Amino acid sequence: MAKTTTSLTAVQCFHCGEDCNKDRISAYEKNFCCSGCKMVFEILDKSNLCDYYSISKTPGTQQKNTIREGKFSFLDDKKIAASLTQFQNENRTHINFYLPQIHCSSCLWLLENLHRLDNAIISSKVNFERKEVDIVFSHHQTSLRKIAELLSGIGYEPYLSFNDMGKQMPKVNASKIYKLGIAGFCFANIMLMSFPEYFGIDTKEYSLLTTFRFANLALSLPVFFYSATEFYVSAWKSIKHRFLNIDAPIVLAIWVTFGRSIYEVLSGTGGGYFDSMSGIVFFMLVGRVLQDTTYRQLSFERDYTSYFPIAVTRVFEQKYESILLSEIKLDDTLLIHHEELIPSDGILTRGKALIDYSFVTGETAPVEKEMGEIVYAGGKQLGSNIELLVIKEVAQSYLTKLWNKENDKSEKNETYSFVHLLSRYFTWIVFGIAFMAAAYWYVHDISKVWNVITSILIIACPCALFLSNTFTNGNILRRLSRNHLYLRNAEVIERMASIDCIVFDKTGTLTTGRFQQIVYEGEPLSVEQKNKLSVLASQSVHPLSKAIVSWTGIQERAKISSYKEVAGYGIEGIVGSELISLGSYSFITKDKSKRREPSIVYVAIEEKIIGKFIFRNQYREQVPTMLSQLGLEYYHMAVLSGDNDGEKNYLQTLMGSHTTLLFNQDPIDKLKAIKKLQESGKKVMMIGDGLNDAGALTQADVGIAISETNHHFTPASDGILSAEELPKLYRFIQLCKANKKVVVTAFVISIFYNIIGLSFAVSGSLSPIVAAILMPSSSISIVLITFGLSNYCSNLYQLK
Amino acid sequence: MNVIILLLIASISVAGLFLLAFIWSVKTGQYKDEVSPAIRILFDDIPSIRKKPKSKDETDTHIVKKNV
Amino acid sequence: MQVEKFYYDNKTVKLFAYATILWGTVGMLVGLLAAVQIYLPAANFGLPYTTFGRVRPLHTNAVIFAFVGNGIFMGVYYSLQRLCKARMFSDVLSKIHFWGWQLIIVSAAVTLLMGYTSGKEYAELEWPIDIAITLVWVVFGINMFGTILTRRESHLYVAIWFYIATWVTVAMLHIVNSFEIPVSFMKSYSWYAGVQDALVQWWYGHNAVAFFLTTPYLGIMYYFLPKASNRPVYSYRLSIIHFWALIFIYIWAGPHHLLYTALPDWAQSVGVVFSLMLIAPSWGGMLNGLFTLRGAWDKVREDPILKFMVVAITCYGMSTLEGPLLSIKSVNAISHFTDWTIAHVHVGALGWNGFLTFGILYWLIPRIFGTTLYSKKLATNHFWIGTIGIVLYAVPMYWAGFEQAMMWKQFTPDGILKYQFLETVTHIIPLYITRSIGGLLYLSGVVLMIYNIVKTVKSGSLIANEAAEAPALSKDIQTHGKQYWHRWIERRPIQMLVFSLILVAIGGIIELVPTFLIKSNIPTITAVKPYTPLELQGRDIYIKEGCYLCHSQMVRPFRDEVARYGEYSKAGEFIYDHPFQWGSKRTGPDLARIGGKYPDSWHYNHMLEPQSMSPGSIMPSYAWMLDDPIDTASTPAKIRAMQTMGVPYPKGYDKQANADLMMQANAIRINLKIDKIQTTANKEIIALIAYLQRMGTDIKAVSKTTEAKMP
């Protein structure tokens, strides 16, 4: 292993690669940033699994905040365990864990060698794309809890949430793929056996020719009766909805083609158009499959249950027991650990609560609660352990109710893609032509009527439109996903193109939720003073204190006496014979008149104010430019923030005077705001991150959830956008607008083919060879055109 | 050219065989994860009870590869 | 208890590796000999066994089935075990497979040199060996599918799919193509005649290339390239897609070997279209290979193994692009029958197969011997020598091919051919010489490798059974899907094996079909009659000496060819040709219309000493034909065989065949006597002359009427 250390920079943690600061640990001639990392290394080293570190450099994840002892004790509960396991027989259990930390080949290797750490594990298989591991273990020798702890022990803490309960793996529904495969197979062979037809087979070989024809007929059956059902179904649905969608005319064309071909073969008058039929079905299926690409690693269907823990600790007759969330009863006393989510509304009965509601309400500053105060579900306890008396069951609690309120509005009014309307006109025109042609031939040469009508219907199948649509959608979705915007499905593209109003959430969306911008105003501080400040501040767990510590950039361990913390107001203590205080104005000056300024902390030495820290949210890079750009494009913009109005002015200047800025919005307000905009005839796009935006996101015409890298909380939405790509928003919208243009262009081009084809058909002289060349060539060229154009557009907007 | 029929029968039966294989492979989720298999083959499954020194040069060769 | 310990079988891998090296050297040595003989006819040492006509098939068989063949098995036996996390299904089968295959190679070498050949390119081996091949192949299949069945890794890596495809398809091709009716031990006639035989042959010929030289090596590439570069393949999805695409398209590219021949147009077009479609999947493979190394070019600079692989993949890309281009009719009109084809195949063989094999050997040998490569430097030198060798080989051949084709097609202003055929040959001899130098370089590179590998092997000791461990494939349900699915999955590999065996059976049954197809509706020409017994014997001598390797029997409907050789060939002329002898290369002139062109004595002297008749000719002397007697004993059997295949000899003709034979022979003997040549009637030369004089004469009578039909 010696070699590895030399290949690493001295200060890098051997395990996680983070820079080790002062309190670095050196052991085994390696450096670790924290004891957590060192521990993991020891575990692996013991079982001789150090290849983990050689497969890829510093593969670990930082282990600073160690997992609470007995965090997974609830897995010992039979009921809970049963609800999680996928399969169990007399001696084996199958469990599937979601491990968000999976990121490199080392992870894969280690997680598939778990059996070396614990030989009760029979096998473990990683699904890299889903970041999941399937573990089979013998439950006689170990337990679910042990395995969860083992995983946490090596730095892969399983993420278990309330909705993992009785989670069923989505079954691989690949029927489309089968249809595609079969269509492709038949198409290729039919084409093959149609060649003699096209290249003029020797009349002496007529027997051969008929053989080919019947073979083609046989091969076309699976296409017609299986592969094409895809379209039959949706066509039938649309007819039942009294709405003629694009599939209807396509199905008609397929049937006519098939019927006529069969007639020709049986009557020996020709080879039919089996190749065209199967070809079209094949290409269209390809289009469908491309368009329906799903992002396996993402879920657009999150509800509050994914944020809640599976189980909580209940205090019962002085004993702690872990119970399922669903078992929480009124008047239960719950123990909430540090960094744990509050599952249901309750009254604080022990300890001091410091609750981070940013996720629910969007407020950045955590809220202190004293004993006897009501705490709402959804917040995260930052302080030490607390106990609370349940006053509302999970299902009734504030957050959940709010969620359910949203859900009943969640279904969007069915909007039909313009493609369907387009195809409808197209179809009617074609019918018209067919009718006239028929009439004409009825007069001149009645024998040709049937022939002509069928040819026209075959040629004029709007499959070109279908193809251009599906392929463009598919390709644009692909390009967007390359830029880390993952849309739920193809309809979203169109909706996104049509929006004229964009609503942002502030915290976590425009700003990075966590790191705050901190500005000091007042007398310059000497190094010595800074030291003292940091010593004082480092006594408190309050995020503002933490921020100040990191601002001073010093981590001195100095003596401090008579330290005092007044929750929600400030802290003070004597450092080196000087009384230092940090806190609100009222806390220091003891005059209650001045109104509370949530994002300002005053600094006082010997009760004399020498300056103040102003906290401002850190805006994401380039977000300002993006906003101004959108402004220029006359998008109506708005900001709905759950946070205080501390930055109203700043935002106002940023986004221009015409933007509406609303602060202290609770989730319901946000939802209502969106509705109001919609009622005023706006097509609204909502962009937010937290649970507090969930309602708004579902209500909006397009709801885009922002996700930090590796951040697995994204509320239900139409799309997921990774935070650092937010500045591209404008270009994304542009591309979605381009989508429609591309489709139409391609379609117009395809119409030319149709015209050529029609002219042949109408004149009653459509030779198989012409049809055979026309059909695939048009399809393929359409495909190429759409790909070319959509790629061109996305390059035009400088998208990856 | 009747022999072409013979060739057709032969080829199509083979192609059909592969079609079955294809359907099977999709059905059984062979392609559920299109990332791991490619990585997985890079690992040798050396027995865990191997002597330390061996493990050393084992890993070293890895590293050499990496640093090359 | 959970984790299973098991051992990888490296012994068999080692054996196959050694065999690869041995046969590679032999094959290339023979190739070099053949290359020299092209400009130095005397290099046949005056022996029938070492004459070009017999050496060349030995070369092709040796490099394809012995060198590449063993290379495939080496790669498969090494990678399959590791991909399945299981030892090969059965050590016994492995043994049988290895020794069986080597036995086949040896017998092939011996019989080919002795002149036992079926006269079909790349399928020259006679029926007993064909059967042996089938059996060994089935053994390999059982061993492979057995391993897949007992695997400990549920996912079948893409390489395994390539192996499966190879096995199944090659089995089918081999059986369909080598369907022949035995006349005696070591002599048989192809079931199919003329055009049909040609179609089957090249359908096989092309797919031999596709599924013996390409798909298995792609599979191997997909395993060894990532391993050697220690980085996953660029796009696994692409590899999957391009596999399925390749499999469904490849089979039909065959007919592009027969453009402008008597094969029906539509069949030719099928070949063209599918060949063109092939570009996509082939390049999918190549790009995937090259992109795998993206960002690792520094490694490539260091590591000879990766160098070999990069060049191999590039060559693969080049020849898979060139192939389709060559199958475009207008290109083919120039390239076909020239050395262009030779260049094309050697870019593939030397570059793709050869270099990939070397790369793998350098990577694999040290591993299974638990040591490191003796000298990286030597390997790098090998790489450079080999690369120069390839260039020196390919470039002159492209040049020669193009040059010659152009010369063939040139007319003087007053409409006569500008060059005699011989001139076009002598003109490119310098290029032939350069080519052989390229070959020599390539071979010397291999010698370097042998030294390097011997040293490496010495420095280590074989890890015959490499210990490994992996958890068993859990037998109860996978986490997804329902109970029975899983059982179904687990049974699958057996079913695949069963399928394949059934397929082999189907193949066998299908083989009966031709008997019904005999009454084929080839446009028959009444003037075309069966060969006389003597001509038949002569034809077998023609086949035995491998004349078809230098002389085509297919006048294509081009102005120059008609002017040079005469009336273009019609499908109807070949209905009694078992097997067809169209050939694929014109080192010498076409012989389709040789009959009656020269007096018997000319042929006699020409066979004795070609240069005496056509000064500067590069054709070797066939002096022994003047002394060796005709094997008249076989005549009746041959006649009977022909009758079973529908050749209309009168009933019981086999009885008096030899009498007729002697009668015709005497006539020729007298002819020769008139030209002052003393010989007895029972000499091979007589039979050969009879055949040569017969060739293409049937149609001459009716040629006037068909003239109108010429496109």
Provide the residue type at A437 as one letter.
A
> Is residue A345 pLDDT above 70, yes or no?
yes
A10-24, A84-98, C307-321, C417-431: least confident range: A10-24
Please name the member of B6, B17, B32 whose beta carbon is closest to the beta carbon of C514.
B6
> Is residue A714 pLDDT above 70, yes or no?
no
Q: How confident is the prediction for chain A on average, in pLDDT? A: 79
Which chain B residue's Cα is nearest to C157? Answer: B37
In this complex, how many residue pairs, one in chain B and one in chain C, have their CB atoms less than 8 Å apart?
A: 134
| CA C379/CA B14 separation, integer angstroms | 41
Q: Quick one: average pLDDT of A557-565?
A: 76
pLDDT above 70 covers a percentage of chain C that reads: 90
The residue to which tokens 């590069």 are assigned: C618
In this prediction, residue A188 carries a pLDDT of 83
Please name the member of A122, A172, A184 whose beta carbon is closest to the beta carbon of C474.
A122
Tell me which residue of A298, A256, A257 sits closest to A276, measured CA to CA.
A257
Which chain B residue's Cα is nearest to A175? Answer: B27
Cβ of residue A55 closer than 8 Å to a chain B Cβ: yes
Do residue B46 and residue C165 have CB atoms under 8 angstroms apart?
A: no
Q: Quick one: average pLDDT of A120-130?
A: 84
Closest-CA distance, C311 to chain B, in angstroms, reads 20
Chain A neighbors (3+ CB pairs < 8 Å)? B, C
Query: Greater confidence, C324 or A167?
Result: C324
A-facing residues of C in 187-246 (CB < 8 A) are: 232
Do residue B33 and residue A47 have CB atoms under 8 angstroms apart?
A: no
Q: pLDDT category, C501, cuts 50, 70, 90?
A: low
Closest-CA distance, B63 to chain C, in angstroms, reads 10
Q: Quick one: average pLDDT of C613-640?
A: 92
Interhelix angle for C52-61 vs C10-39, to 10°?
150
Cβ of residue A208 closer than 8 Å to a chain B Cβ: yes
Do residue A122 and residue C476 have CB atoms under 8 angstroms apart?
A: no
In this prediction, residue C308 carries a pLDDT of 95
pLDDT above 90 covers a percentage of chain A that reads: 1
Residue C47's contacts (CB-CB under 8 Å, 6 or more residues apart) are none
| CA C263/CA C251 separation, integer angstroms | 18
Token readout for C394 is 């390919």
Closest-CA distance, B36 to chain A, in angstroms, reads 6
Q: pLDDT category, C674, cuts 50, 70, 90?
A: very high
Which chain B residue's Cα is nearest to C303? Answer: B68
Please name the member of B5, B35, B59 whose beta carbon is closest to the beta carbon of A128.
B35
Q: Quick one: average pLDDT of A436-455?
A: 81
A377-408 pLDDT per residue, tens: 878 787 778 888 888 877 777 666 666 655 54
Q: Quick one: average pLDDT of C471-486?
A: 51
Tell me which residue of A718, A717, A700, A673 sits closest to A303, measured CA to CA.
A717
In this prediction, residue C82 carries a pLDDT of 93
| CA A40/CA A33 separation, integer angstroms | 12
A727-779 pLDDT per residue, tens: 888 889 989 888 888 988 888 887 887 777 767 766 666 665 666 666 667 77
In this prediction, residue A709 carries a pLDDT of 57
Q: Is C286 exposed, middle or buried (0-12, 13-18, 19+ CB in 10 A)?
A: buried
Q: Which residues does residue A388 pair with via DSSP β-bridges, in sequence order?
A: A334, A348
> Is residue C53 pLDDT above 80, yes or no?
yes
Buried b (16+ CB within 10 A) or exposed e, A186-195: bbbbbbbbbb
In this prediction, residue B54 carries a pLDDT of 38
In this prediction, residue C27 carries a pLDDT of 96
Do residue B39 and residue A108 have CB atoms under 8 angstroms apart?
A: yes
List chain A residues with CB under 8 Å of B50.
48
Please name the member of B23, B39, B59 whose beta carbon is closest to the beta carbon of A54.
B59
Query: Greater confidence, A33 or C152?
Result: C152
Taking only Cα atoms into account, the Rg of chain B, rounded to an integer number of angstroms, comes to 23
List chain B residues with CB under 8 Å of A180.
none
Which chain A residue's Cα is nearest to C230? Answer: A55
> Is residue A436 pLDDT above 60, yes or no?
yes
In this prediction, residue B56 carries a pLDDT of 38
Token readout for A137 is 């273990």
Which 3-state string (H, E, C) describes C454-486? Answer: HHHHHHCCCCCEEEEEEECCCCCCCCCCCHHHH
Please name the member of B4, B33, B62 whose beta carbon is closest to the beta carbon of C199.
B4
Q: Which residues does residue A137 pair with via DSSP β-bridges, in sequence order?
A: A93, A121
Query: Greater confidence, C426 or C479?
Result: C426
Q: Quick one: average pLDDT of C120-139?
A: 91
Q: Quick one: average pLDDT of A271-291?
A: 85
In this prediction, residue C705 carries a pLDDT of 46
Strands A511-522, A608-619: parallel, antiparallel or unpaired by DSSP?
A: antiparallel
Q: pLDDT category, C347, cuts 50, 70, 90?
A: very high
In this prediction, residue A404 carries a pLDDT of 61
Contact between C100 and C26 (Cβ < 8 Å) = no
> Is residue A675 pLDDT above 90, yes or no?
no
List chain C residues with CB under 8 Å of A200.
265-266
In this complex, how many residue pairs, one in chain A and one in chain B, have their CB atoms less than 8 Å apart?
A: 83
> Is residue B51 pLDDT above 50, yes or no?
no
In this prediction, residue C515 carries a pLDDT of 43
C167-203 pLDDT per residue, tens: 988 988 888 888 888 888 888 888 888 888 888 888 8
* Listed ranges A615-619, B42-46, C55-59, C169-173; the one with the highest mean pLDDT: C55-59
Hey, what long-range contacts does A551-560 have (CB within 8 A, 24 or more apart)?
A551/A518, A551/A520, A551/A613, A554/A530, A555/A21, A555/A22, A556/A531, A558/A531, A558/A532, A560/A535, A560/A536
List chain B residues with CB under 8 Å of A7.
63, 66-67
A708-722, B2-16, C45-59: least confident range: A708-722
> Is residue C245 pLDDT above 90, yes or no?
no
Q: pLDDT category, A556, cuts 50, 70, 90?
A: low
List chain B residues with CB under 8 Å of C174.
none
List chain C residues with CB under 8 Å of B18.
165, 168, 244, 247-248
Residues of B with CB under 8 A from a CB of A: 1-2, 4-5, 8, 12, 15-16, 19, 22-23, 26-27, 29, 32-36, 39-40, 42-43, 48, 50, 52, 55-56, 58-60, 62-63, 66-67
C-facing residues of A in 238-297 (CB < 8 A) are: none
Element (H, E) at A353: strand A353-356
- DSSP calls for A717-746: -SEEEEGGGGGGHHHHHHHHHHHHHHHHHH
Give pTM, 2 decimals.
0.84
Which chain B residue's Cα is nearest to A204? Answer: B1
List chain C residues with CB under 8 Å of A128.
none
> Is residue A8 pLDDT above 70, yes or no?
no
Q: pLDDT category, A205, cuts 50, 70, 90?
A: low
> Is residue B64 pLDDT above 70, yes or no?
no
Which chain C residue's Cα is nearest to B11? Answer: C251
Please name the member of A94, A122, A198 whose beta carbon is closest to the beta carbon of C471.
A122
> Is residue A1 pLDDT above 50, yes or no?
no
Do residue C232 and residue B42 have CB atoms under 8 angstroms apart?
A: yes
> Is residue B62 pLDDT above 50, yes or no?
no
Q: pLDDT category, C606, cuts 50, 70, 90?
A: very high
> Is residue C395 pLDDT above 60, yes or no?
yes
Do residue B52 and residue A48 have CB atoms under 8 angstroms apart?
A: yes
Do residue A172 and residue C480 have CB atoms under 8 angstroms apart?
A: yes
Token readout for A229 is 């059902």
| CA C434/CA C395 separation, integer angstroms | 9
In this prediction, residue C483 carries a pLDDT of 40
A457-497 pLDDT per residue, tens: 776 677 778 888 888 888 888 888 888 888 888 888 888 88
* Listed ranges A463-477, A609-623, A741-755, C633-647; the one with the highest mean pLDDT: C633-647
Chain B neighbors (3+ CB pairs < 8 Å)? A, C
Token readout for A633 is 């494009």
Q: Quick one: average pLDDT of C368-389?
A: 95
> Is residue C389 pLDDT above 90, yes or no?
yes
Q: Quick one: average pLDDT of A54-65?
A: 76
Q: Quick one: average pLDDT of C478-491?
A: 42
In this prediction, residue A173 carries a pLDDT of 63
In this prediction, residue B49 carries a pLDDT of 55
In this prediction, residue C103 carries a pLDDT of 96
In this prediction, residue C516 carries a pLDDT of 45
Q: pLDDT category, A166, cuts 50, 70, 90?
A: low
Query: Greater confidence, A377 or C80?
Result: C80
A172-191 pLDDT per residue, tens: 567 888 888 889 888 888 88
Which chain B residue's Cα is nearest to C234? Answer: B38
Contact between A573 and A596 (Cβ < 8 Å) = no
Q: pLDDT category, C506, cuts 50, 70, 90?
A: low
